[in-house]
Amino acid sequence: MKYVLIAVAEMRGGVEKELFDQYRCRLSRPLTVIELKQRNSPEAESVEILKHIMPGDWVCALDERGLSVSSRDLTHIIADAEQHYKRLIFVIGGADGLAPVVRARANYMLSFGKLTWPHLLARGLLMEQLYRCQQIAINHPYHRD
């Protein structure tokens, strides 16, 4: 099983990168990060995003219109996807979000709630949640209900 993160904008140094790296190194699954240049519109970014998605991939788009679920629910969603797909792709758009064509390609749309998160911080949140799901799946006490 391989995870892929497709994200618009380059992550440089700073606390956001430190948070991302802290949880990325804890993942037991390999993670490939594909950073794309920010374009002048979500539609222009979508062309680049879709180039990296294969027909047999499971795609989770992080989007404010997505579903806000518990960490336990997300664990079940990811576990189910891992049973049916070789690659799980997580997509984080740029400042203006994702184009409708990317949202339409997604197998699942995930929201981190109604708050607006900077896309660089959303990467750290995603990594922490993937790590948390991993720990829930093995019944590790990291997660507390």
% helix / strand / coil in the chain, to the nearest 5?
40, 25, 35
Q: Which domains does the chain have, with CATH numbers?
A: 2-137 (3.40.1280.10)
Instruction: Give, in order, the Cα–Cα distances in Å from 17 to each of 28, 40, 122.
Output: 19, 24, 11
Q: Taking the complete model, does pTM exceed 0.85, yes or no?
A: yes
Average pLDDT over residues 122-131: 97
- CB-based contact 123:33 (threshold 8 Å): no
DSSP notation for 24-70: HTT-SS-EEEEEE---SSHHHHHHHHHHT--TT-EEEEEEEEEE---
What does the alpha-carbon distance between residue 88 and residue 9 come to, in Å, rounded to a whole number?
20
Which residue has tokens 């390609």? 105
What does the alpha-carbon distance between residue 56 and residue 54 come to, in Å, rounded to a whole number?
6
pLDDT in tens, 44-93: 999 999 999 999 999 999 999 999 999 999 999 999 999 999 999 999 99
Q: Is the pLDDT of residue 143 over 70?
A: no
